[in-house]
Amino acid sequence: MGDFLKQLQSYRLTTAEILYHMPDHPDLLQTFIWQELDVAPRFPVLCRFLDFWSHKLDGKLHSVRVASVGLIKPAEFRYANCSLTLQ
């Protein structure tokens, strides 16, 4: 499905900041930024990715912060207090 069609079906741009323990140095944390179109508040795409991470990758998850915003929204208008003429 195309990204535009997904956005029309309530998908939102979702960004997750994933902190995980480095496999070779478990006391150190590394950051991974994940960004994809997903459906809030369930976030099924993110949940599938985190499930893949926890079962297939070596770095143990520490924490995940999620931000989400709709890209398609009603137009916003602002009225100007002045009028300009271009020649």
**Residue 76, domain member (yes or no):** no
Whether 87 maps to a domain, the answer reads: no
Q: How many domains does the chain have?
A: 1
Q: How many CB atoms lie under 10 A from the CB of residue 16?
A: 19
Q: Could you tell me if residue 35 is inside a domain? A: yes
> Is this prediction's pTM over 0.95?
no
Residues of the chain short of pLDDT 70, as ranges, are: 1, 72-80, 87
Give the CATH number, domain containing residue 23.
3.10.20
* Domain assignment of residue 65, given as a range: 3-69
pLDDT of residue 2: 82
What pLDDT was estimated at residue 81?
Answer: 78
- Vertex 45 angle, CA 23 and 76, to 5°: 120
Asked, for residue 40, whether it belongs to a domain, the answer is yes
CA distance 25 to 14: 29
